[in-house]
Amino acid sequence: MKKILKDTCILASLMILAVFAISIIWSGVTDEIKLILQLFLLALIISIINNFFDDYLTVSVIMSYVVKYFAISGVVMLFGFIVGWFYLSNFWMAFIYVGAVLVMAYFLDSFMIKKDIEYINNKINSRG
């Protein structure tokens, strides 16, 4: 199931990129295409930050999510100001968007870690 969901997300991303890449040829960079490209760029920046923290941060799971929350919210806000998503009146919304995604990621991550640990320990026990 996990693999199917992952493959679905990758396929959807590729479909979006392919469709919009062809659209650029016909109609140039419209507002919709610009938004999609900006989202992909933001996703890339967040992935790099996330990867960096995973490598260099050795704190508890909750603490690492708190650090990521503030770092990623800052990046989303900055990016939002640069590309014109946020104004001074609504920039705080970045905290809500990032918070919602990170809460889901935290619970999913905690669950997956427990399952992976269980799997590895079972394998170790079965080899005797």
Partner 1 sequence: MQIITRQVEGKPLTVTIEYPEYNESTMRLIQKINSLDLRFSAYDDDKQIRIELSDVYYIENVERKLFIYTKSDVYRFDSTMPQLESIISGTQLVRISRTCIMNTDHLKQIRQVKNSHLEAVLDNDEMLIVSRKYLKDIKRVFKG
**113 contributes a contact to partner 1 by CB under 8 A:** yes
Smaller CB distance to partner 1: residue 23 or 109? 109
* Span from 6-14, 38-46, 82-90, 117-125 in contact with partner 1 (CB under 8 A): 117-125
Instruction: Say how far residue 66 (Cα) sits from the centre of its chain.
Output: 15
**55 contributes a contact to partner 1 by CB under 8 A:** yes
Residue from 58, 84, 87, 89 binding partner 1 (CB under 8 A): 58
Residue from 4, 60, 84, 128 binding partner 1 (CB under 8 A): 60
Buried b or exposed e, range 24-35, using 16+ CB within 10 angstroms: eeeeeeeeebee
Q: Residue written as tokens 């990623």? A: 72
Smaller CB distance to partner 1: residue 53 or 85? 53
98, with CB counted inside 10 A (0-12, 13-18, 19+), is buried
**62 contributes a contact to partner 1 by CB under 8 A:** yes
- Please count the residues of this chain forming the interface with partner 1, following the rule CB under 8 A: 20
Q: Where are the alpha helices (DSSP H) in the chain?
A: 2-27, 31-56, 61-83, 93-126
